Homo-oligomer: A and B are copies of this chain.
């Protein structure tokens, strides 16, 4: 694996990324929330529900990368304001996507973790800017990125001076059409063999089907993932985006319980370093 001066090294102590007191890479983290911030009422309701079910962080998109220019593009600045309100009310740290280097400052004002979406995984301009930022970065694997591509994308951020990177597997594109993508869980232990960063898994995008989210969350926990990113919506069929893959707060609560069962079997402690 070429060029990994900072990411790599099988013998290196594992990195733990501090997010508002959560130790990502040591403690298993569950990040949940709607695909998109649609309204204050919707976001706060879901935030309260996922918090009471055991989520550690809130996710929600204010700026949405969408296939078509005519699809809902997110609420933008108003979405950021709503996320901030949800954070203030629930105390949950917020993860949200930044799509544009010019938005980093305003997104950082509301977000505890800045997400780089899979379509921007090789937006090197954005990655370089995020290397200069004092915020943890959640770096999604591109839909067609090899492990080498992905870790080199992380290296762009680390080499800029920001060592707080969390990797997130979210499915790759294959010929299979039953699922939206093919969730590549083997990349979790593979990434950990050659890189010391935490790795979490997004089974919502990874499968594109609500019915597959539960089993794949358990599988991800068993494979050694450091956390989960899960889309939750009170009324998935009425959601503004990704209707097929969002699960209800009730399903989410059951899921957290079952994941906890898996973790009780598989989690163990490794030597760590804090970033």
Nearest-CB distance from A146 to chain B (Å)? 5
The chain B residue with its CB closest to the CB of A147 is B178
Report A253-275 CB contacts with B as 1/0, cut-off 8 Å. Answer: 00000100110111000000000
Report A102-129 CB contacts with B as 1/0, cut-off 8 Å. Answer: 1000000000000000011011110010
Distance between Cα atoms of A69 and B266 in the complex (Å): 36
> In the bound complex, do residue A147 and residue B159 qualify as a contact, i.e. CB atoms below 8 Å apart?
no
The chain B residue with its CB closest to the CB of A122 is B119
Measured between beta carbons, the chain B residues less than 8 angstroms from A69 are 3, 124, 128, 152, 155-156, 159-160
Partner of A218, one of B1, B102, B160, B223: B223
The segment from A12-20, A44-52, A80-88, A183-191 that touches chain B is A183-191
Measured between beta carbons, the chain B residues less than 8 angstroms from A265 are 258, 261-262, 264-265
Distance between Cα atoms of A143 and B262 in the complex (Å): 30
The segment from A28-36, A53-61, A204-212, A230-238 that touches chain B is A204-212
Measured between beta carbons, the chain B residues less than 8 angstroms from A220 are 219
Given the known interface contacts A2-B68, A67-B152, A264-B265, the answer about A184 and B190 at a Cβ–Cβ threshold of 8 Å is no
Bin chain A's interface residue count.
Answer: 35 or more
Say if the beta carbon of A39 comes within 8 Å of chain B: no
The chain B residue with its CB closest to the CB of A71 is B3
Say if the beta carbon of A197 comes within 8 Å of chain B: no
The chain B residue with its CB closest to the CB of A160 is B69
Say if the beta carbon of A77 comes within 8 Å of chain B: no
> In the bound complex, do residue A212 and residue B190 qualify as a contact, i.e. CB atoms below 8 Å apart?
yes
Nearest-CB distance from A260 to chain B (Å)? 9
Distance between Cα atoms of A178 and B216 in the complex (Å): 22
Say if the beta carbon of A221 comes within 8 Å of chain B: yes
Distance between Cα atoms of A110 and B101 in the complex (Å): 23
> In the bound complex, do residue A100 and residue B125 qualify as a contact, i.e. CB atoms below 8 Å apart?
yes
New contact pairs (18) apart from A99-B123, A120-B123, A264-B265, CB-CB < 8 Å: A3-B70, A67-B149, A67-B152, A68-B155, A70-B155, A102-B102, A172-B176, A178-B190, A185-B216, A186-B206, A186-B215, A189-B211, A215-B222, A219-B219, A219-B220, A219-B222, A261-B265, A262-B266
Smallest CB-CB A-B distances: 8 pairs: A144-B144, A3-B68, A222-B222, A119-B122, A219-B223, A218-B222, A261-B265, A100-B125
Q: List 25 A-B contacts (CB under 8 A).
A: A3-B68, A3-B71, A5-B70, A67-B149, A69-B124, A69-B155, A99-B123, A119-B123, A123-B123, A144-B144, A146-B178, A147-B176, A147-B178, A148-B178, A172-B182, A174-B174, A174-B184, A182-B182, A182-B184, A185-B185, A186-B206, A188-B215, A216-B223, A219-B223, A265-B265
